[in-house]
Amino acid sequence: MLKFYNTLNHKTEEFKPIKANEVGLYTCGPTVYNFAHIGNLRTYIFEDILRRALVFAGFKVKHVMNMTDVGHLSGDQDFAEDKMEKEGGSAAEIMALAKKFTRAFLEDSNTLNILQADIIAPATEHIPEQVDLIKILLEKGFAYETELAIYFDVPKFPNYSRLSGQKIEDKKVGARSDVVIDPNKKHPADFALWFKLAGRYKNHILRWESPWGLGFPGWHIECSAMSRKYLGQPFDIHTGGVDHITIHHSNEIAQSEAAFGVPLANYWLHGEHLVVNEGRMGKSEGNFITLSTLIEKGINPLAFRYLVLTSHYRSKLNFTWDSLQAAQNALNNLYEEISSFDKAEGSADQFESVFRDAINDDLNTPQALAVVWDHH
């Protein structure tokens, strides 16, 4: 029996797909304005294990991943800086940057033995789908327009707190002095579906026609529009990092369910953070580690994958160079063990069943690795 911890219901549940043999899987992809750091990559390794576990359990998987190449703001507040436009440049230059970092992301994935999604969907190639969805939300009274933007009206959607367990009263207006707050936004939890070329975004480079004039989509609407297009609604499994729960995924659920009156996805799985020396990783902290950093230090990239598998995806993983070195040694030993492995020894069936139990138990990779080590 395959079971997962479902964030939506806050408990571990047996996995029951919508169709008998095929599973629809949507994983939130990167914002392609920079290289992925190893914390991001941990999430994609967890999702790869999930996909492989589904295949191992006999399902065919249709895997969709978005690439955010517009509208992801550098803070959670509306009217922060668009990550893609930070470096400036023409529309062509911004899109070239997006293509470059998309390629880099796919190369990193490949190096880490992560299977590529069946459909990779850039937000900028799905603007009409996003506009259509916003139109429905306006028609149904779940959205409203100001001079600066179209917002989702969060208090109108009673299920908003289901995923996060966080009351909407706890959401505060962004207090940063450089952030222009729209005086006509009704509730601090309301979030932008579409930005107009006005106020701070008067000169936003990437812009499209819409019923509300030229503008660009908010970050969250792309996932609602593209998951529905490729997987239907509801679909089976939606994943991301734990940092997506309170805002991005809660917003996706609000948009999709308000528009169509059915659930967005039945199972929500979230991977925990990787921390470096017990602290957060980021550029400002001076510990932004990419896969290239590891390779330059002579580390086998798959040793990083091995390290990720040694902790459960719902536990924080504390990254240290010592732990990575230990993972590399373990992996080398494992390669040696396997090369001298005698197939005639022991019962393969028994081994497989113990291994299957471990991986089917909410992707218990530490246990599955232990099974691999025990069996020789």
Query: Where do contacts with Zn ion occur on this chain (CB under 5 A)?
Result: 28, 223
6, 363 Cβ separation under 8 angstroms: no
Q: How far is the CB of 26 from Zn ion (least distance, A)?
A: 8
Q: How far is the CB of 251 from Zn ion (least distance, A)?
A: 9
Closer residue to Zn ion in complex, CB, 223/317: 223
Q: How far is the CB of 328 from Zn ion (least distance, A)?
A: 33
Closest CA to 353 of 42, 56, 41: 56
Closer residue to Zn ion in complex, CB, 23/331: 23
Which long-range contacts link 84-93 to residues 24+ away (Cβ below 8 Å)?
84/31, 84/32, 84/33, 84/206, 85/204, 85/205, 85/206, 86/33, 87/33, 89/205, 90/205, 91/205, 91/206
Q: How far is the CB of 293 from Zn ion (least distance, A)?
A: 27
Closer residue to Zn ion in complex, CB, 6/111: 6
Closer residue to Zn ion in complex, CB, 267/304: 267
If one counts every other C-beta atom within 10 angstroms of the C-beta of residue 188, the result is 16
Closest CA to 29 of 89, 82, 101: 101
Closer residue to Zn ion in complex, CB, 104/223: 223
376, 337 Cβ separation under 8 angstroms: yes
270 vs 42: CA distance, rounded Å: 11
Q: How far is the CB of 20 from Zn ion (least distance, A)?
A: 27
Closest CA to 122 of 2, 33, 25: 33
The four Cα atoms 141, 145, 150, 155 give a dihedral, to 10 degrees, of -50
Q: How far is the CB of 207 from Zn ion (least distance, A)?
A: 22
265 vs 25: CA distance, rounded Å: 9
Closer residue to Zn ion in complex, CB, 196/248: 248
Indicate the burial class of 80 (C-beta count within 10 angstroms; 0-12, 13-18, 19 or more): middle
Q: How far is the CB of 126 from Zn ion (least distance, A)?
A: 13
Closer residue to Zn ion in complex, CB, 223/371: 223
Burial 162-182 (b: 16+ CB within 10 A, else e): bbbeeebeebeebeeeebbeb
Q: How far is the CB of 323 from Zn ion (least distance, A)?
A: 30
DSSP E strands in 272-372: the ranges are 274-276, 317-319
Closer residue to Zn ion in complex, CB, 32/223: 223
Decide: helix, strand or coil at residue 340. Answer: coil
